[in-house]
Chains A and B, each alone.
Chain A
Amino acid sequence: MRILAWLQRKKILGRIISIVAVLVFILYLLWAHDLLRVELFEYTTRALTENWKALLLSTSLLATPLTLAAVGECINERAGLFNIGLEGIFFLSVVIGVRGAEIIGSGVAGLLVGLLTGALIGFIFSVLAVYLRANQLVLGMGINIFAMGMLAYLLAAIWAFPGIHSVRPEFHISKMLGYFTPIFFVAVIAAILAHIIIHRTLFGIRIRAAGEKPEAVDVAGVRVDRIRILACTVGAALAGLGGAFFALGWFGEIVKEMAVGMGFIALAVVVVAGLEPLLALAIAFVFGFVRALADWVATMPGINVVLPGAFYIMNMVPFLVTLLVVTIFIGRRKFPRALGKPYVRE
């Protein structure tokens, strides 16, 4: 009893209950998917040893948009803006990026158009959130829903063919450097730069302060609104680049269901990484790998017969890991104090 009281006082009891609840939930899922078996590990190791080249390739492709969006989200969450509209930015920049590539006549230009699309969305988001004090969560969901409709509408309105559009091969950036696309290196550089800017520069201190204690930034004579808008625009621009990459650097076509869920996986990456860009890079790679493994499982008929639930469980892994990490590390992993709150000068 004394131990129980001590646990309660230290607020550990609640966390233990929560962790147990998440673990029970994961166990339920494993049980429901009939996966509490040894074969899972056998197949995973087989995939790793025999198929590592193909897996690495698809992992690097999957990790690219995830890293870009996650690094961008790290920046704007540091500044205190919580943008859950990443999926929407993916959707919109993929269409507008491809359209830009076709009009300008170059794949790289298409990527830049995607980047600008993201930047524009981020700018609008931050202006609404900073000056008009809009609820950032509702705003983010609004962007997601708007983009979900716009993707299908634009596909039909621009190319007059519903559901799918193929990018002409000359715009497709299919050149690979080893197992990586060039854009993956852009993502890596973005992550490193973001890390340096956030942790090593004066501007980084201001960004962090704008998220942590905007009053202090204001008193120091620095404009909180401008910092937040800049951070959000840059962050969303990176996500926009990731969105354009889907069609121009990876699939070579636009499909309605292409990026479904990816924006939310990117959000999961950010949460697990605790707003550290370099950590986000690593975790995006891990989550990308799990997704790649899931896709590999889906194409192997033998595994699908023995372990029909493997594909589904592997797709869930990013989300389950996030749940677990959030539950274990909450409190220890600090989010900016003013995250999601508009700053009003008193």
Chain B
Amino acid sequence: MPRLFDAIREYLGTLKRSLAESLFALLIGLLIGAGLMLAFGYDPIMGYISMLKGFGIFTIEGFLAVLAIIALGLLLAAFIGAYWAKIPQALARLWRKKISGRSISLVAIVVFILFLISRMLEFLDNVELMEMLAYSVPLMLTAITFAVGMRAGIFNIGAEGQVYMGAVAAAWIGGHFALPTGLHLLAATAFAMLIGAAWALLPAILKIRAGVHEVISTIMLNWVAFFHVPYLIINRFAGVHAERTATILPTARYPILGASLTAVIFVALAACVVVYILLWRTRAGYELRLVGDNPDAARYAGINIRRAILISFIIGGMAAGLAGASQVIGRPLLGWTLPATLGTVFGLGFSGIGIAVIGRNHPIGGIFAALLFAGMLNGAKFMEYDWGISSELVVAIQGVIIIALAIPALLAMSRRGVRRLKIRRGPR
């Protein structure tokens, strides 16, 4: 147990430093959003109150549930962070029927927390909360793409194209093959991740072998995918509707937990935790982060820089592919189809950049940032219903937040500014 508390303290410690900066940027974004609303004659306070509805916290039990889920999530993350090495061992022991109290309790706690969260969701039946969670799934995954890239010193903005490819891959397997229940779901998910990684492979090769800057290659590949996927949908994978893919077969759908939230959220959360473990608890992850922090030191330490960059691209591609799959086989959008306009997946990769930046390029931080953005995105529709404020304002606020967080010394600057004000006001 002390290890568990240490891990939680470690999280909160690292969080505290970056949290202040993220919150400051969020404040700037909201203030500029309020200014924009005022400038065009809307009431910003009422607008933001309407937006809060999207977080599903307007009822007492909803609010408590959000708190409880965040606490449970933190506990789970810390728990896995502390005991990650022991869990496979424990599972292996159980598998070999060597039942020990410790291994049982380890596995049982993880399963129990997951069970608690899912039961709570079903029990509450809070539609907006579930919508928010459903929105957050692809966002936390595309955030991984950018975050892992940044950790390796790579500006990987290719998530957008990889999401399209992952989505169409999942739609192909999910709609055109008849496989047994569990296998079908697994195959569609795995294939989407594979195709996402494959789409990330070309920029990786160009970066490693020829030194082509990844920004250029990933931007170009995003747009290639933007025109490639509609062609595939219309001419290869169309179903009843000429401009949409065939409906995903029931065997390839993730089970719905409520509203448009499906069990894919557990896969996404697991992916975040796995990426965290990979980056912070394995040798390859350590090397990857060292390459990002200080490439010269990494080179002198004999670290294979090319391999680290390749790994970062592949992890990113897999996460983005999963994000694409989550919008097709993991969410009942347009009757389980993917439209040729790409309306249900467009912009997820770009949002992922903002979420990664707010989450300070940390997969666990990305979960919380994704929840925040998802709540805002979900709440934007209430702004539009209630006050006629275009829901796209939220995207603009995202942009402001990203711009604010691009400035490295944001918090220090604000502190210095405050101090200077105080000095000037003081007696001379």
Contacts and interface: CB of A to CB of B under 8 A. Distances in A.
Verify that A and B bind, or say they do not.
yes
Contact of B231 (A22, A137, A312): A312
B34 interface: no
A261 B395 contact: no
Q: DSSP majority for the B interface?
A: helix
Contacts of A29: 224, 228
Interface string B389-419: 1101111111111110111110001000000
Interface in B181-226: 202, 205-206, 208-213, 215-217, 219-224, 226
Contacts of B407: 128, 132-134
A21 B212 CA distance: 13
B406 A319 contact: no
Contacts of B259: none
A104 B266 CA distance: 55
B145 to A, nearest CB: 13
B231 A148 contact: no
Contact of A137 (B155, B389, B401, B405): B155
A17 B223 CA distance: 23
Contacts of A179: none
Interface stretch (B105-113, B331-339, B349-357): B349-357
A309 B223 CA distance: 15
Interface string A20-61: 011001000100111000000000000000000000000000
B150 to A, nearest CB: 9
B350 A141 contact: yes
Given A14-B209, A17-B209, A135 B226 contact: no
A15 B209 contact: yes
A330 B223 CA distance: 21
A287 B403 CA distance: 30
B211 A330 contact: yes
Contacts of A155: 390
Given A21-B206, A326-B216, A327-B212, A142 B403 contact: yes
B402 A138 contact: yes
Nearest to A131: B407
Given A21-B205, A21-B206, A331-B211, A145 B223 contact: no
Nearest to A145: B399
B397 A149 contact: yes
Given A14-B209, A144-B350, A320-B220, A138 B394 contact: no
B235 A264 contact: no
B399 to A, nearest CB: 2
A33 B231 contact: yes
B220 A132 contact: no
Contact of B399 (A142, A152, A319): A142
B393 A149 contact: yes
B123 interface: no
A94 to B, nearest CB: 15
Interface in A116-162: 128, 132-139, 141-153, 155-158, 160, 162
A331 B202 CA distance: 19
Contact of A25 (B202, B226, B234): B202
Contacts of B388: 156, 160
B66 interface: no
Given A141-B353, A319-B220, A153 B396 contact: yes
Interface in A315-330: 315-316, 319-320, 322-323, 326-327, 330
A261 B357 CA distance: 24
A312 B230 contact: yes
Contacts of A19: 210
Interface string B359-402: 00000000000000000000000000000111011111111111
Given A133-B408, A312-B228, 8 more contacts: A14-B211, A135-B406, A264-B223, A319-B219, A320-B220, A323-B217, A327-B210, A330-B210
10 contacts: A32-B228, A33-B231, A128-B407, A137-B157, A137-B215, A145-B354, A146-B398, A149-B398, A150-B396, A157-B42
Interface of A: 14-15, 17-19, 21-22, 25, 29, 32-34, 84, 88, 128, 132-139, 141-153, 155-158, 160, 162, 261, 264, 267-268, 271, 308-309, 312-313, 315-316, 319-320, 322-323, 326-327, 330-331
